[in-house]
Amino acid sequence: MSKFLSFIFLVPSFLSFGQSDSTFIRTVYNEALSHGHAYEDLRSLCKDIGARITGSAEAEMAIQWGKRKMESYNFDKVYLQEIQVPHWERGTTEAGWIKYSDGSMSKVNLLALGGSIGTNGLMEAEVIEFSSLEELKNLKSDKTTKGKIVFINQPMDEQQINTFKAYGGCWPMRGLGAIEAAQHGAKAVLIRSLGLPVDEHPHTGGMYYTDTVQKIPAAALSTLDAEKLSTSLKKEKVQFVLEMDCRDYPDKTSYNVIGELKGSENPNNIITFGGHLDSWDTGEGAHDDGAGIVHCMEALRILKTMDYQPKNTLRLVFFMNEENGNRGGKGYAEWAKEQTHEKHIAAVESDRGGFAPRGFSCDGSEEQVLFLQSLEKHFSQYDLHVFEKGYGGVDIGPLKTQFEEIPLFGFVPDSQRYFDFHHAPSDVFENVNKRELELGCAAIASFLYLLDQNL
């Protein structure tokens, strides 16, 4: 049946008001831009709570904040979903110094990587620099690394137009550097922060140990300090003095926060969408992922405010623990699988910052990517043009394990400035632009509407 005929004879409820898709989407944008709550909600999350690493008191406060906010917007159902989460704390002491051959010292800006062990007091050793994890891996003899501090100084590739590709290229240094350095007998590993600008902000992030390799402390230097250390090493032998008292604690009980608008036609068909409520323990988690949290909450608020009756259930999830374990994403997917009456038809994630929207990517079949591309026409006047195969998101990723055929969609904002702030003390509310944030909310609300209407 042609679109026109379906319009005449079927007349879905929202169309009874004579609204076309384009009118509906225009109304969404007007609400977001003229009556938006996103910016003030983000201010509250960043300033009233701030950094909220999994297991912290602030993470608990953020859960209550999210639940209260969702309730204040009168979503049909608001509830918590219990999960067990890891609990790592940075501790109170964290410092590093370059120690030159004449004994003089120069303090650097660093952050322990998330999950690192501490140094148990001051640790001092000679520094050996590598240009990449690859170079360290290919080292034949451990003579030069044994008992030393390995320093991996791989800059993000600024020639990548999409900065996430540059990030991906450097991720192994952070994620696997401690394992590789320990295998080569090192006492600790320092990495260059995964940030594009050369500045004073260190960028933390997740890292791994294995059971079979000794755990050693791991920290990220600011890019400026990485360059300073590298310059020093070209001139002389250099020691590094490191002190960190971060440590792991036993797992804790925590929660994903869930809010729903119930489907009017197919209440058991679920469209899951959200971002992650936890952040690293530095800055305010404004872009990562406060923006994603308010993007998605605001999208549902807008649809609710417009009195939109979704055909399918729209389920907003604030995932806990994306940064260091993804227990929220995994726990949600397992729980969803147990709800045997539910059919999971799509999932959407926003976790790439609060910048001007460029489009959506699809982790799905060729047909699902074609479907995504069919939606592009609705967004051309809103300056979105990226509708392509690509990544969904860490939190919604486990849904694919449980439901093989579910399409995962990732919201794609402009990527140029994300790695100025990512996991750094500079990821604060002031670095999020109100309009850019609001345009993201409108794009996601419109996208949810189109998914709901067309899936």
* Three-state secondary structure of 241-271: EEEECCEEEEEEEEEEEEEEECCCCEEEEEE
Under DSSP, the state recorded for 362 is E
Whole-Å CA distances, 381 to 21, 29, 225, 359, 411: 13, 11, 44, 12, 17
Residue 295 or 358 having the CB closest to its own copies: 358
In whole angstroms, how close is the CB of 181 to its own copies at the nearest point?
28
Active-site residue (options: 284, 322, 349, 438) = 322
Main-chain dihedrals φ then ψ at residue 331, nearest 5 degrees? -65, -40
Shortest gap between Cβ of 426 and its own copies (angstroms)? 12
Q: Which is nearer to its own copies, 29 or 449 (CB)?
A: 29
* Amino acid letter for position 220: A
Instruction: Please enumerate in sequence order all residues whose Cβ is within 8 A of that of 28, keeping only pairs 6 or more positions apart, or say none.
Output: 302, 303, 306, 442, 445, 446, 449
Closest CB to its own copies among residues 268, 433: 433
Residue bearing tokens 């952070």: 174
Considering only residues 385-414, where is the footprint of its own copies by CB under 8 A?
Answer: 385-386, 414
Identity of the residue, 256 or 446, whose beta carbon is nearer to its own copies in the bound complex:
446
Which residue pairs from 402-407 have beta carbons closer than 8 angstroms and sit at least 24 positions apart in sequence? 402/333, 402/334, 402/336, 402/337, 402/344, 403/336, 403/337, 403/344, 405/365, 406/344, 406/345, 406/346, 406/347, 406/364, 407/346, 407/347, 407/362, 407/363, 407/364, 407/365, 407/368, 407/371, 407/372
Distance, in Å, from the CA atom of 224 to the CA atom of 203, rounded to the nearest integer, reads 12
CB of 49 to its own copies, least distance (A): 24
Structure tokens at 98: 């370059």
Q: Is residue 417 close enough to count as binding its own copies by CB under 8 A?
A: yes
Residues 85-144 within binding reach of its own copies (CB under 8 A): none
Q: What's the closest the beta carbon of residue 106 comes to its own copies, in angstroms? A: 25
Of 3-11, 173-181, 260-268, 379-387, the segment contacting its own copies by CB under 8 A is 379-387
- Residue 343, H or E segment: strand 343-349
Helix, strand or coil, per DSSP, at residue 293: helix
CA distances from 300 to 46, 200, 370 (A): 20, 38, 25
**Buried-state track 265-286, b at ≥16 Cβ within 10 A, e below 16:** eebebbbbbbbbbbbbbbbbbb
Residue 35 CB coordination number (10 Å): 11
Determine, following the binding rule CB under 8 A, whether residue 434 of this chain makes contact with its own copies: yes
How near is the Cβ of 354 to its own copies at its closest, in Å?
A: 11
Q: Which residue among 309, 382, 389, 402 contacts its own copies (CB under 8 A)?
A: 382
22-61: contacts with its own copies (CB under 8 A): 29-30, 33-34
Q: Give the Cα separation of 446 and 383 in Å (integer).
A: 13
Select from 207, 439, 444, 450 the one that contacts its own copies (CB under 8 A).
Answer: 439
Tokens of 340: 């045997």
Among 196, 302, 399, 408, binds its own copies (CB under 8 A): 196
> In angstroms, what is the minimal distance from the CB of 134 to its own copies?
20
Q: Per CB under 8 A, does 158 bind its own copies? A: yes
Is 383 a residue that touches its own copies (CB under 8 A)?
yes
Stretch that binds its own copies, among 68-76, 142-150, 160-168, 258-266 (CB under 8 A): 160-168
Binding region for its own copies (CB under 8 A) out of 47-55, 155-163, 240-248, 337-345: 155-163
Q: At closest approach, how far in Å is the CB of 196 from its own copies?
A: 6
Residues 187, 82: Cα–Cα separation, whole Å: 38
Q: Which is nearer to its own copies, 74 or 381 (CB)?
A: 381
Q: Is 322 a catalytic residue?
A: yes
Applying CB under 8 A, the span of 156-164, 176-184, 295-303, 321-329 interacting with its own copies comes to 156-164
Q: How far is the CB of 429 from its own copies (least distance, A)?
A: 14
Q: What DSSP line would sit under 303-325, residue for residue? A: HHHTT---SEEEEEEEES-TTTT
Of 118 and 155, the one with the shorter C-beta distance to its own copies is: 155
By CB under 8 A, name the one of 356, 378, 389, 402 that touches its own copies: 356
Q: Find the binding residues for its own copies in span 299-338 (CB under 8 A).
A: none
d(Cα 156, Cα 229) in Å, to the nearest integer? 17
In the set 2, 161, 211, 234, which binds its own copies (CB under 8 A)? 161
Task: In angstroms, give the least distance from the CB of 152 to its own copies.
Answer: 20
Among 84, 132, 162, 239, binds its own copies (CB under 8 A): 162
- Alpha-carbon Rg of the chain, whole angstroms? 24
Count residues binding its own copies (CB under 8 A).
27
- Closest to its own copies by CB, 319 vs 355, is 355
Which DSSP helix (H) or strand (E) runs through 421? helix 418-421
| Residues designated as active site | 322
The contact set with its own copies (CB under 8 A) reads: 29-30, 33-34, 158-159, 161-163, 196-197, 356, 358, 381-383, 385-386, 414, 416-417, 420, 433-436, 439
